[in-house]
Amino acid sequence: MTICCIAPGTFPFPPAPCTSVEIYLWHLARELSRTEPILLYGKTDAVSASDPLSYLRHVLRDVKKHPAEPSIIHIENRIPFLPKIKKTFPRVPLVLNLHSNVLIQELPKLILRKAFHHLDALVVNSRFLQGDLLVRYPFLPEEKVHVIHPGIDLAQFPSRFRATGAALRAEVRAKHQITPEQQIVLTAGRFTPRKGIAELLDAFRIVHAAHPHSVLWIIGGSPRNAEHPFHNLIREKAAELPVHFFGFLPQSELPNYYAAADVFVCPSQLPEAFGLVNLEASAAALPVVASGRWGLTESVAQDVSGRLVEEFTNPAAFAVEINRLLADPDRAAQLGRSGRNWVERHFSWEITARQFLALYERTKKGRLLN
C-alpha cells in the first residue's frame, strides 16, 4: 500500500525549524515506512511557502510521475487542498489529519461542506476535538471522524531518572547555576494570553512564598516588546520573582530542559485540542499540572502522570497542586515515573502508525464496497 503524505508546505521537516505539524508527519511517515512505501511531501527550497496552490500543484505533478497511483493520500490540516487533490486522483481515498479547530473556523461553511464531500476519513487528535467538530458542523458524517492520539519520540525525551536523562539534568542545571536545593517549575508553549502565562505567574508568586528555592522557567517567548500590553503585563507580574524567559528554543533542545525541571505546568485558559507538551514532559518523567478541561484531559492522566486543575482560571488552585509536588518530592517522582510508563504504553509512534494503517485499510475497503 503506497501512502502519499502531504504536509501544509509552510515549513520544512525536522531538523530544520518547523511546527508541531511537520514534526508529527515526519515521525508518522518514518514509522509507516517500516512496512509501507511512502511518498512524503513538504516545503522545499524550490517551492514558495507563501503560495499554497503552487506548492500543491508541484506536489501533484510529482505524484503523477510515479508509475502507479498511491493507495491513500494523507493530508495534514490543509482543508482547501481536498477538491484539487480529488479532481486529480478521483479514485484514491483521501484522509485528512486535523490538529486543532483553529484553521477550520476560518473557512466558510459552504467551503467546508464541499471539501468534506471529497473526504473519506477525518482524523483528529482527541475525543474533545471530535465532539467539538461534530457539534459545530452537523453536515460532517460522524462515521467519517476518527480519533487517533499523537505519538511521542520516547528516545528523544529520556526519563530524568535514567542515565541519559540524569546526565542532561545535571548538565543543564549546572549551565544555569541551579543549586541542588532549587526546584524548577517549567512551562513551554506559544507566548500568548491563551496559554495562561499571566495566571501561572500569579500562581508562582504564591508558590515562591512557600518554596523560596523555587524558580520558574518559561520556554516559548519573552516580554521584549515594551509597546505590547500583554508583554507589559507579564513583566509586571514577573517583577522581583526568579523567572527566566528562554524565548523560542529548537525542538532538539527541549528534552534538556524537561530533564532539568521538577514540575511541568500547562495552564491554558482557552480550549486546547490535545496538549502534546504534556506528553513530552511525561516522557521525561516530569509530573504535570494542567488545566482540567478540553483535550488536556487526554494528555494528562489524573494521579497517574500528574494533576488536572478544575478551577483552571484560579491561580491559587494551580499553586496548591504545584506546592504539593514541590513539598513531596517522592510523590512527584512517583507521578513522573508512572507518567513515563503511561506514555510508553499508549503514545508511541508505533501505536499511532498502527492505528493509521488500520484506518487506511478500512477506508480502502469502504471505497471498494461503494
Residue 274 has pLDDT above 60, yes or no: yes
Q: What percent of the chain has pLDDT over 70?
A: 97
b vs e for 3-33, b when ≥16 Cβ sit within 10 Å of the residue's Cβ?
A: bbbbbbbbbbbeeeebeebbbbbbbbbebbe
For 252-266, the pLDDT digits (tens) are: 899 999 999 999 999
pLDDT in tens, 321-344: 999 999 999 999 999 999 999 999
The per-residue pLDDT for 43 is 87
User: Would 3-151+348-369 and 163-346 be classified into the same CATH topology?
Assistant: yes
User: Higher pLDDT residue, 216 or 14?
Assistant: 216
Cell 525525551: give the residue: 157
**Per-domain residue ranges of the chain:** 3-151+348-369, 163-346
pLDDT band at 369 (very low <50, low <70, confident <90, very high): very low
pLDDT greater than 50 at residue 276: yes
Domain 163-346 of CATH type 3.40.50.2000: yes
pLDDT at 62 over 50: yes
Kindly state which CATH superfamily the domain 3-151+348-369 is placed in. Glycogen Phosphorylase B; (3.40.50.2000)
pTM: 0.91
Q: Classify burial at 137, counting beta carbons within 10 Å of its beta carbon; exposed 0-12, middle 13-18, buried 19 or more.
A: middle
Which has the closest alpha carbon to 125: 289, 5, 264, 271? 271
Mean pLDDT of the chain: 94
The per-residue pLDDT for 224 is 80
pLDDT in tens, 202-234: 999 999 999 999 999 999 988 887 678 999 999
